């Protein structure tokens, strides 16, 4: 055992921080009575080189335990031990002086020895270790700044770091890693998106799966099982345990920013990998169990579960609120993160008693935090405990995943009756949800598909979920998907069904990018990626979830259409308004900002419960911007003659007709020709878009 010189450390920063002559270690645990630091000479050393007991008189400030260890350096690993009360059912504490604990603020983690099932029952099981990182300020950003993208101009591309390039067809040098994404930045730039939203990259437990899933050799792939909120998941690095591995992530961010693309992190502050009463003790349970989690008030051995994952983070306890704010501040200051999407964010609106509170401290702390004000905040505004806050999530700056948009558009395009009014409201930014609170259309994150559910291809190919491969007897995943197979379940050789499915996919894509609000696209939807009907691929780290890059050629028609409809949106500021449409003329405008129609002008079918069509005219915001006229016909077989507004002062040009074959389904401005008729035949299940260019 090596003897090292130590002295009292500093409370901040939390975790392990290297300085010229050693490392400062800081840990929070209010109720620990004894704390010990175990230092390993290398990440995979079997025994510690030093055990350092912290003296409460000299090494504790409030509930922070800290020590400075001379001679410690980057590349060494460390764990903590903590002793204290263990009357779990009464006090809620789970201290155990025999258990090695992972630093909750670890910057790099080593998990090769970790065995989740063993750790559930054996306090002496090998832990996940923290690794001392190299100094974070030793990185050259080369003057590259975060792109200046207004919220209303954002186009989000949700993707999984590994799934994006892991397939052999990606032909990148380092598939499934941050470096792999760098090689695909030209593809993202050409697609036209403005932000990538990465599924969880904070270090998570891949072994956190139910028994039936584990027996099939599957693992936690999506990453919604975080254990280290300041650390990056090792699997996404090429060299995961080098002291400079963090810079691989920074390299990706720098190159994305250089290409004008922002980065959003999906973060999981609603639960952790420690699970419920029968879950392992990794860090928080062994240090601050009573503060960090919602415990059953009648039996503190048990955890209140508003997440469906065994435990719930007590976000509005002052210590936890501090932890969350510090964490996000870390990612912004050191990695230039442009935004965060909060999984099951309604958990953050629950008070310490578990009940919803509008003035939740953590939510408003993020709303007003000066550092975090530079980043976007996106809420998945519901949780598994029944709290649904879409349109009512606390705060003004927060954007929301608009689940009502998803459901309405899916039903309308499928051909459900009675959806015309609801669809109109969703297309125009969901003013019913966001207007009364003084918010804006861009508070709505519009999406048709996301990681959780069917891909776009499967939405138009399957009427039921097919999750048998997950090992849970098809019980997992959402049962109501508002999907349709259009005549055959899954793959088919029927050319008519194939054509209809592609057309419906184009219809979804067109409506998404014609909607007020912020559009979000699931990776691979632009080339019709399939998961074979599985709508819950959280445990499928294989070709079922990976993007097959051969689809770029196989489904080139869809890829071209997606690129062009994104380009269409970008050249029309009228589709990216910062205020809600009123139906009135604004100063300097020839037309009302929006006018609704049916087959006849000015006669929208609001009162027709059987209507499955709608049309509207959107006025250009500036003299040089074209007006837009949209015709939507979701009848099964019925074509409709729909009137066009007057051409006075200009000409109408056909831009989009999803019924037409490529390349005539979407036409670039230079190839468009004036349309001389007063009406247009809208084919069944199609969306048609005209642009009116004013005469000079």
SS3 per-residue string spanning 163-200:
HHHCCHHHCCCCCCCHHHHHHCHHHHHHHCCCEEEECC
Spatial separation of the C-alpha atoms in residues 238 and 266, rounded to whole Å: 21
Q: If you count them, how many residues does the chain have?
A: 696
The pLDDT of residue 696 is 62
Residues in CB range of 137: below 8 A, 6 or more apart: none
- Name the residue among 248, 261, 262, 228 with its Cα closest to residue 375: 262
Structural domain includes residue 677: yes
At residue 264, what are phi and psi to the nearest 5 degrees?
-120, 135
Spatial separation of the C-alpha atoms in residues 238 and 35, rounded to whole Å: 34
At residue 18, what are phi and psi to the nearest 5 degrees?
-80, 135
Q: Cα–Cα–Cα angle for 231, 233, 239, nearest 5°?
A: 100
The pLDDT of residue 587 is 73
Spatial separation of the C-alpha atoms in residues 450 and 538, rounded to whole Å: 12
Can you spell out the DSSP letters for 438-490? T--GGGEEEES--SSS--HHHHTT-SS---GGGSSTT-SS-S------TTSSS
- Name the residue among 466, 534, 458, 553 with its Cα closest to residue 501: 458
Residues in CB range of 183: below 8 A, 6 or more apart: 165, 172, 173, 174
The pLDDT of residue 467 is 98
Residue 502 token pair = 């592609």
Output DSSP code: residue 544: T
- Name the residue among 309, 391, 404, 399 with its Cα closest to residue 347: 309
Helix (H) or strand (E) holding 52: strand 50-54
Sign of CA dihedral 566, 568, 574, 580: negative
What Å distances lie between residue 666 and 150, 445, 509, 561, CA to CA? 27, 25, 12, 7
The pLDDT of residue 1 is 67
Sign of CA dihedral 297, 298, 301, 303: negative
Structural domain includes residue 640: yes
Residue 95 token pair = 């201290």
Structural domain includes residue 419: no
Question: Average pLDDT of each block of 10 consecutive residues along the chain (696 residues)?
Answer: 89 95 97 98 96 97 96 97 90 95 98 97 97 93 97 98 98 98 98 98 98 96 98 97 94 98 98 98 98 96 97 98 97 97 97 95 94 94 95 93 98 98 98 95 98 98 98 95 98 98 98 98 98 98 98 98 98 96 85 96 97 97 87 97 92 98 97 96 98 84
- Outline where DSSP puts E strands in 518-581: 518-522
Neighbours of 475 (CB within 10 A): 10
Count Cβ neighbours within 10 Å for each residue of 353-370 and write b for 16 or more, e otherwise: ebeeeeebbbbebbbebe
Residues in CB range of 482: below 8 A, 6 or more apart: 407, 410, 411, 414, 416
User: Domain range holding 682?
Assistant: 577-694
Catalytic sites, residue numbers = 343, 380
The pLDDT of residue 586 is 79
Neighbours of 60 (CB within 10 A): 19
- Phi-psi category of 533—alpha, beta or left, where left has phi over 0 and alpha has psi -120 to 50? left
Structural domain includes residue 690: yes
What Å distances lie between residue 247 and 118, 140, 165, 253, 486, CA to CA? 33, 10, 19, 10, 48
Structural domain includes residue 10: no
Structural domain includes residue 122: no
Output DSSP code: residue 218: -
Residue 334 token pair = 């050191």
Spatial separation of the C-alpha atoms in residues 426 and 434, rounded to whole Å: 11
Structural domain includes residue 296: no
* Cβ atoms of residues 167 and 128 within 8 Å: no
Contacts 24+ apart (CB under 8 A), 134-138: 134/18, 134/74, 134/243, 134/244, 134/246, 135/18, 135/74, 136/107, 136/246, 136/334
Q: In CATH, what number is assigned to the domain containing residue 623?
A: 2.60.40.1180
Residue 185 token pair = 């930045």
Residue 636 token pair = 């099964």
Helix (H) or strand (E) holding 285: helix 284-292
Can you spell out the DSSP letters for 346-385? GGGGB-TTS-B-TT-HHHHHHHH-TTGGGSEEEE--B-TT
Spatial separation of the C-alpha atoms in residues 644 and 672, rounded to whole Å: 17
What pairing do the DSSP bridges indicate for beta strands 399-401 and 376-379? parallel
Bridge partner list, 40? 77
- Collapsed DSSP state (helix, strand, coil) of residue 335: helix
Structural domain includes residue 262: no
The pLDDT of residue 249 is 98
* Cβ atoms of residues 324 and 269 within 8 Å: yes
Q: How many domains, in total, are found in the chain?
A: 1
């Amino acid at each position: 055992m090596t003897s090292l010189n130590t002295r009292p450390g500093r409370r901040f920063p939390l975790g392990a921080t290297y300085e010229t002559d050693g490392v400062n270690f800081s840990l929070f645990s209010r109720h620990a009575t004894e704390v010990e630091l175990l230092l390993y000479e290398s990440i995979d050393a079997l025994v510690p080189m030093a055990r350092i007991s912290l003296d409460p008189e000299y090494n504790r400030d409030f509930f922070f335990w800290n020590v400075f260890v001379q001679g410690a350096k980057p590349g060494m690993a460390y764990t903590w031990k903590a002793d204290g009360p263990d009357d779990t059912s009464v006090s809620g504490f789970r201290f155990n002086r025999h258990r090695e604990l992972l630093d909750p603020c670890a910057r790099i983690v080593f998990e090769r020895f970790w065995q989740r099932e063993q750790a559930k029952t054996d306090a002496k099981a090998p832990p996940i270790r923290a690794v001392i990182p190299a100094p974070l300020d030793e990185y050259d950003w080369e003057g590259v700044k975060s792109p200046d993208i207004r919220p209303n101009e954002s186009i989000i591309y949700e993707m999984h770091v590994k799934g994006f390039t892991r397939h052999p067809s990606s032909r990148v040098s380092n598939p499934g890693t941050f470096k792999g994404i760098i090689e695909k930045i030209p593809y993202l730039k050409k697609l036209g998106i403005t932000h990538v939203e990465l599924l969880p990259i904070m270090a998570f437990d891949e072994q956190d799966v139910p028994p039936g899933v584990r027996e099939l050799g599957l693992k936690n792939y999506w990453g919604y099982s975080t254990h280290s909120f300041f650390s990056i998941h090792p699997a996404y690095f090429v060299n995961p345990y080098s002291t400079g591995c963090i810079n691989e992530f920074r390299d990706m961010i720098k190159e994305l920013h250089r290409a004008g693309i922002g980065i959003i992190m999906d973060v999981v502050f609603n639960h952790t990998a420690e699970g419920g009463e029968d879950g392992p003790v990794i860090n928080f349970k062994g240090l601050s169990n009573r503060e960090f989690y919602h415990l059953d008030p009648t039996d503190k051995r048990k955890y209140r579960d508003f997440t469906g994952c065994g435990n719930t983070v007590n976000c509005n306890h002052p210590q936890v609120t501090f932890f969350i704010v510090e964490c996000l501040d870390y990612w912004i200051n050191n990695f230039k993160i442009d935004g965060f999407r909060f999984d099951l964010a309604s958990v953050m609106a629950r008070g310490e008693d578990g009940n919803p509170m509008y003035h939740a401290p953590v939510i408003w702390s993020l709303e007003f935090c000066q550092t975090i004000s530079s980043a976007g905040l996106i809420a998945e505004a519901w949780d598994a405990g029944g709290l649904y806050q879409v349109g009512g999530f606390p705060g003004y700056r927060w954007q929301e995943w608009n689940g009502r948009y998803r459901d309405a558009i899916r039903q309308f395009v499928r051909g459900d009756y009675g959806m015309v009014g609801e669809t109109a409201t969703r297309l125009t930014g969901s003013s019913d949800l966001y207007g009364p609170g003084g918010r804006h259309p861009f508070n709505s994150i519009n999406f048709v598909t996301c990681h959780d559910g069917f891909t776009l291809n499967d939405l138009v190919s399957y009427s039921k979920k097919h999750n048998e491969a997950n090992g849970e007897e098809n019980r997992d995943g959402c049962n109501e998907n508002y999907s349709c197979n259009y005549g055959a379940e899954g793959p088919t050789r029927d050319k008519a069904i194939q054509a209809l499915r592609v057309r419906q996919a184009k219809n979804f894509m067109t409506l998404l990018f014609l909607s007020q609000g912020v559009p979000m696209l699931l990776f691979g939807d632009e080339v019709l990626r399939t998961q074979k009907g599985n709508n819950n691929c959280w445990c499928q780290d294989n070709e079922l979830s990976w993007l097959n890059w051969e689809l770029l050629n196989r489904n080139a028609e869809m890829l071209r259409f997606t690129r062009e409809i994104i380009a269409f949106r970008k050249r029309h500021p009228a589709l990216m308004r910062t205020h809600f449409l009123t139906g009135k003329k604004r100063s300097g405008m020839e037309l009302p900002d929006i006018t609704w129609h049916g087959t006849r002008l000015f006669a929208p079918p609001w009162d027709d419960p059987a209507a499955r069509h709608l049309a509207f005219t959107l006025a250009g915001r500036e003299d040089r911007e074209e007006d837009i006229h949209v015709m939507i016909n979701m009848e099964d077989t019925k074509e409709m003659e729909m009137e066009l507004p007057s051409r006075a002062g200009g000409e109408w040009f056909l831009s989009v007709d999803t019924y037409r074959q490529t390349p005539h389904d979407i036409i670039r401005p230079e190839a468009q020709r004036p349309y001389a008729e007063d009406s247009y035949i809208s084919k069944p299940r199609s969306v048609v878009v005209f642009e009116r260019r004013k005469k000079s």
